[in-house]
Amino acid sequence: MKIAIQEILKNKLRYSILGIIILLIAFLTLAISGLARGLSYDNASLILDMPEGTFYMEEAAEDKHNFSAISDVQINNLNDAHDNMTLMSIQMGEVEDSSGQAHSLVFVTSEGHEIFPKAAQNELLLDGSLQDEGIQSGEEVSTRLISDNLTVSGFTEQQTYSHSPAAFIHPNDFSELVQSDASQIVFVEDEAAAIDGLTAYSNDEFLNTLPSFSSEQMSLNMITYFLYAISGLLFAIFFYMINVQKLTTFGILKAVGVKTITLFKMMWTQMILITIIALGIAVGISQLLVMVMPDAIPFQLTWEVTLFTSAVFMIIGFIGATLSGIQISKVEPMYAINQGGA
Partner 1 sequence: MITIENLEKSFQFGSGEDKVLDQVNLSLNSGEITALNGVSGSGKSTLLTIIAGLQNATNGKIVVDGVELTNLKESELRQRRASQFGFIFQQSHLIPFLSVKDQLAFMIETAGRKWSRKEREEKIDAMLEAVDMMKHKDSNPNNLSGGEKQRVAIARALIHEPEVLFADEVTASLDSKRSTQVMEIIRNIAQTRKITVLMVTHDEDMLQYADRVVTMKDRKIIDA
Using CB under 8 A as the criterion, which residues of the chain lie in contact with partner 1 when the complex forms?
2-3, 6-7, 10-11, 248-249, 252-259, 262, 333-334, 336-337, 339-342
Reference 122, options 168, 170, 166; nearest CA is 170
Residue 258 CB, shortest distance to partner 1, in Å, is: 5
In the complex, the smallest distance separating the C-beta of residue 253 from partner 1, rounded to whole angstroms, is 7
Closest CB to partner 1 among residues 261, 319: 261
Q: Where are any strands of DSSP class E within the chain?
A: 54-58, 86-96, 102-112, 123-127, 140-141, 150-156, 160-161, 164-169, 185-188, 198-201
- Going by C-alpha positions, the residue among 286, 287, 275 that lies closest to residue 318 is 275
**What's phi and psi for 288, nearest 5 deg?**
-65, -40
The whole-angstrom separation of Cα 14 and Cα 31 is 26
Of 35 and 331, CB closest to partner 1 = 331
Using alpha carbons, list the distances in angstroms from residue 15 to 7, 141, 235, 325: 9, 63, 11, 17
Tell me how far, at minimum, the Cβ of 242 lies from partner 1, in Å: 11
Minimum CB distance to partner 1, residue 271 (Å): 16
Considering beta carbons, is residue 194 or 342 the nearer one to partner 1? 342
Least gap, CB of 1 to partner 1 (angstroms): 11
Q: How many CB atoms lie within 10 A of CB 15?
A: 19
Are 146 and 140 contacting, i.e. CB atoms less than 8 angstroms apart? no
Of the pair 6, 101, the CB lying nearest partner 1 is at 6
- Which candidate, 49, 69, 66, 48, places its Cα nearest to that of 58? 69
If the CB atoms of residues 10 and 296 are measured against partner 1, the closer one turns out to be 10
Nearer to partner 1, 154 or 333 (CB): 333
CB of 3 to partner 1, least distance (A): 6
36, 213 Cβ separation under 8 angstroms? no
